[in-house]
Amino acid sequence: MPSYIIKRLPFRTNYNSDYFVDRYQGIPIGGYQPLFNGLLANRLITVKLNTAYEDVAKSITKQDWVIYTGAPDQFFNYKYGKLEWRSLDFKWEIINVRDYQGIAVMNEAGIDIPYTRTHEFKHFHPEAEKIYNQEKTVICREFSKEYKDGDTPYYPIDTPYNRELYAKYLNLAKNTPNLVLGGRLGMYKYIDMDKTIKAALDTFENIKTNLL
């Protein structure tokens, strides 16, 4: 493991059991869906769901900018080889209890527990009282697994092999006009939501500067 990973693991000399220590923590009002609905509600934006980049690639002209948020090795047809990832299985359950674990996310550290954490979504929105007070709750457990073709890539594996490979793809992208590799997959980097949003805004500013 690269040494900087240790910085992601909080070391405490107090009894604060929260994962993050940011002064302000939260999610957008109503969750992310209204935020994205608002962002996309512009007549200049067309959303095509269930459409792979490869399906529309031919209709993209040389003047168009492409911000590609998929895996870079896939974009370049695995020219230099495959990047490695970790994947996850999610097991969902509805439990007939008002409050299952008292908190949005419980991390599991025990080696005898096969899942890494349990989410209980209602705790993200205690203000949504109608749902919050129901005598049932939705939980989801995360099981870490090796990535195989067809799985969703979740976590990049930060080894010298992957770093070198990614650098090659990045170089290729830099030499491809009007192409930006963006987001957690395109950057081959684990980033939290705040950093993801910041990176997206920075990317927009860079493109704007390039265009003006």
Ligand X SMILES: Cc1cc2nc3c(=O)[nH]c(=O)nc-3n(C[C@H](O)[C@H](O)[C@H](O)COP(=O)(O)OP(=O)(O)OC[C@H]3O[C@@H](n4cnc5c(N)ncnc54)[C@H](O)[C@@H]3O)c2cc1C
* Annotation marks residue 117 as catalytic: yes
Q: Which of 5, 60, 103, 193 binds ligand X (CB under 6 A)?
A: 193
Q: Of residues 85, 122, 165, 184, which one binds ligand X by CB under 6 A?
A: 184
CB of 212 to ligand X, least distance (A): 25
Indicate the residue among 132 and 155 with the shorter CB distance to ligand X. Answer: 155
Looking at the Cβ atoms of 72 and 137, the one nearer to ligand X is 72
Measure the CA–CA gap between 132 and 45, rounded to whole angstroms: 35
- Which residues within the stretch 36-55 sit at the binding site for ligand X (CB under 6 A)? 52-53
Q: How many CB atoms lie within 10 A of CB 118?
A: 20
Are 83 and 73 contacting, i.e. CB atoms less than 8 angstroms apart? yes
Q: Which of 84, 141, 142, 147 is catalytic?
A: 142
3-state secondary structure of 25: coil
Q: Which stretch binds ligand X (CB under 6 A): 6-14, 38-46, 160-168, 180-188?
A: 180-188
How far apart CA 175 and CA 181 sit, in angstroms, is 12
Q: Do 117 and 142 form a contact (C-beta atoms < 8 A)?
A: yes
Q: Decide whether 59 or 96 has the Cβ nearer to ligand X.
A: 59
**Rounded CA gap, 33 and 171, in Å?**
34
Cα 124 off chain centre by: 18
Residues at the site binding ligand X, with contacts judged by CB under 6 A: 52-53, 69-70, 74, 88, 154, 183-185, 191-193, 196
